[in-house]
Amino acid sequence: MAVSITLRNIIKKYGDKAALNNVTLGVEKGHIHAVIGTTGSGKSTLLRVIATLCVPSLGSGYINGLNLGARQNQIRHQIGYMSQDSRFEESLTLLENLNLHGKLHGIAQADLLNRISGFVKRFKIIEELHSFPSEVSFGTRRKMEFIRAVLHNPSILLLDEPTASLDLECKDLIETFLREQKLRFTTVFVSSNIDQVERIADRISILDDGRVVADGTLKELKEIEQENRILDLTLSETHERDFNILDASPLVDSYTVQGNHYEIITEADVAPESITSLFHERVVQATPRLPTLADIFKRMVKVESTHE
């Protein structure tokens, strides 16, 4: 399949800090590609580089065959970009904002009105169209941002936390649209919602400190980890010394605790019985399982163990 987005060895520095550090990435046409990472890992900067809103310090890239550094104007007309911040002309109504966007992209008025009508009906914001941005809810503003990003029928869709802080109905409207229309766009989206990423992403990149530390389909990422690496352990009662036992054990890579439930990550060849024997008669249930994307994410970005 054709590749719509190619980045090679992209470095973006702000002073001495590298927001992106030697990032190489390819996104196939018609695919939904998710980017996940902790705060400050470079996710938003990556989208801004693809959108030509941020010039790399080093490296090269191509968007639909157009050179990222030399063909910025042509690239921008092919991109729909939804940032984390709602940015509207506050002196214009929502309808006027959409009209302005459509005209900037050269959409004929009759076609533009038809597109707007279809989108506002689908996303259930007809009544708010003649309101000013400051007069509507956060959810309406985000839906309007999404409509504006897709209104000119871009070939590349870049979405930065498109459903963060939205209610379930709003999230479902956007996710359903992306699934139904996925072949119309090459989509790259940043999300902190791991469940959402598992639902809709064809491929996933994990960023940590500006680097791509993992990249692949969900199946491929799970195959990186091994069976029995994660042990869900429930004890009848917990003791303060349990933390010392786990911290001291060479069999335990890391763990998290919630009440009397432990989620323990071990090396691949560690048998569950080697862990349960540390707690003897207090073991109520011990279940080895395959990792979820959340487990893989925590391991890849070295999220520290927590005692709760």
pLDDT of residue 203: 98
Assign a CATH topology to domain 3-223.
Rossmann fold (3.40.50)
- Alpha-carbon distance of 126 to 119, in angstroms, equals 9
Q: What is the mean pLDDT of the chain?
A: 93
- Alpha-carbon distance of 209 to 57, in angstroms, equals 16
pLDDT of residue 302: 61
pLDDT digits (tens, 9 = 90+) for 14-40: 999 999 999 999 999 999 999 999 999
Contacts of 186 (CB under 8 A, 6+ apart): 4, 5, 27, 28, 29, 30, 31, 33, 155, 156, 157
Assign a CATH topology to domain 226-290.
Alpha-Beta Plaits (3.30.70)
pLDDT at 303 over 60: no
With beta carbons less than 8 A apart as the criterion, state whether 75 and 66 touch: yes
pLDDT of residue 308: 33
Q: Confidence band (pLDDT; 50, 70, 90) for 59?
A: very high
pLDDT of residue 228: 57
Q: What are phi and psi of 307, to 5 degrees?
A: -110, 110
For CATH 3.30.70, list the domain ranges present in the chain. 226-290
First-last CA distance in the chain: 46
Q: Where are the alpha helices (DSSP H) in the chain?
A: 43-50, 72-77, 94-104, 109-122, 138-151, 168-180, 194-200, 218-224, 241-248, 272-276, 293-300
The whole-model pTM stands at: 0.88
The DSSP result for 6-44, as a single string, is EEEEEEEEETTEEEEEEEEEEEETT-EEEEEE-TTSSHH
pLDDT of residue 269: 85
Report the pLDDT averaged over residues 134-145. Answer: 96
pLDDT of residue 254: 86
pLDDT of residue 291: 85
pLDDT of residue 227: 59
Residues pairing with 248 in the sheet: none
Q: Confidence band (pLDDT; 50, 70, 90) for 146?
A: very high
- Higher-pLDDT residue of 86, 106: 106
pLDDT of residue 222: 86
Report the pLDDT averaged over residues 277-287. Answer: 94
pLDDT at 207 over 70: yes
Contacts of 159 (CB under 8 A, 6+ apart): 47, 82, 146, 149, 187, 188, 189, 190
With beta carbons less than 8 A apart as the criterion, state whether 282 and 236 touch: yes
Report the pLDDT averaged over residues 209-233. Answer: 87
For CATH 3.40.50.300, list the domain ranges present in the chain. 3-223
pLDDT of residue 1: 67
In which region does residue 103 sit, left (phi positive, over 0), alpha (psi from -120 to 50) or beta (all else)? Answer: alpha
Q: Confidence band (pLDDT; 50, 70, 90) for 289?
A: confident
